[in-house]
Amino acid sequence: MIIDINFIGVIIASIMASAVPLILASCGELITERSGVLNLGVEGMMIIGAISGFALMTVTGSLIIAVFGAMLAGVLISTIFAFLTQTLITNHVATGLALTIFGIGISAMIGKNFVGIPGKEFPVLFEGLKDTMPLLGPILFGHSIVFYFAFALPFITSYFLKKTKIGLILRAVGDSPESASNQGINVRLVRYACILYGGAMSGLAGAYLSMIYTPQWIENMTGGRGWIALALVVFSTWNPIKILIGAMIFGGLTIIQFHMQAIGVRIPVQFLTALPYIVTIIVLVVISRDSRKIRLSTPSSLGKSFHKDN
């Protein structure tokens, strides 16, 4: 059997496309967690982003309004989380879980009128360059702007955390909010900002799903990707570059197992479906084994409420 080299390129591109929402949501959650806040509401924020994006696109017809509207929706719902956990000092875990349940419920309610409506085509960039190179052409060109942004994001995030002053302040808050507060850093403000940013990225991830990846609205269409994004953050030991690796493995196995099922490989379907989850976690655990490094990169105050008393 001769395999067309461009076909391999197309498969790799589809793997990358399926990794996009994971990368976006994980990188957002990574910033939130690095500041010491554990937001388990990623799935809920993503699904809100998905319905908001799709609904705005259908109603207004503007893709730009839809994409930014989805991010804004993510910000708004994460503001609820921020207000509860940072101002009213509620428990991070319980509030995050509530956020997910809330998000899934409200998206289903809003989405009722949008089921079955076809989506719009999202413009792609560099379409013409696709055929100029074998293999690399389909990988590099002909994707949406969100796709390119997602693959730049881990590097931007890494640079931001390591090299910029704000990144340093953010890590300091996650390490010890008490010390940061005593140094005159406004811990609550930093954490609000990080939570809202995480919300925006989750919203964008959701919009990518409903507007670009599978342009339609299906109830519960995030299908647990928010939880995978959360797991990626932890198993990557809060390292954006490892998130990229993890998301690619997960995306790759998801695509490959589809193809394997289609070809009719004689492995139980349940096992194939579970495979991406298992392998991603194993690989990330193996590449992040160094307990010293884990200790150094884990935000010490993760999930703990900080309350400044006077």
> Which residues form the interface with another protein (CB under 8 A)?
165, 168-169, 171-172, 175-176, 178-185, 291-292, 295-298, 300, 310
- Compute, in degrees rounded to 10, the torsion defined by CA atoms 190, 191, 193, 196: 180
Neighbours of 180 (CB within 10 A): 23
Whether residue 200 contacts residue 71, with contact meaning beta carbons closer than 8 Å, is answered with yes
Which residue number, 270 or 291, has a Cβ lying nearer to another protein?
Answer: 291
Least Å distance between CB 160 and another protein? 14
Which residue number, 157 or 210, has a Cβ lying nearer to another protein?
Answer: 157
Query: What distances in angstroms separate CA 54 from CA 22, 110, 221, 246, one per listed residue?
Result: 19, 11, 12, 28
* 267-289 exposure pattern, b = at least 16 Cβ within 10 A, e = fewer: eeeeebeebbbeebbebbeeebe
Residues in the chain: 310
Least Å distance between CB 296 and another protein? 5
Which residue number, 162 or 259, has a Cβ lying nearer to another protein?
Answer: 162
Least Å distance between CB 15 and another protein? 34
Nearest-10 crossing angle of helices 187-208, 5-34: 160
Least Å distance between CB 191 and another protein? 16
* Residue 61 DSSP class: -
Of 193, 141, 142, nearest to 169 by C-alpha is 193
Least Å distance between CB 30 and another protein? 15
Which residue number, 175 or 219, has a Cβ lying nearer to another protein?
Answer: 175
Neighbours of 112 (CB within 10 A): 9
- 75 φ, ψ (degrees, to nearest 5): -60, -45
Least Å distance between CB 268 and another protein? 37
Which residue number, 22 or 170, has a Cβ lying nearer to another protein?
Answer: 170
Which residue number, 157 or 254, has a Cβ lying nearer to another protein?
Answer: 157
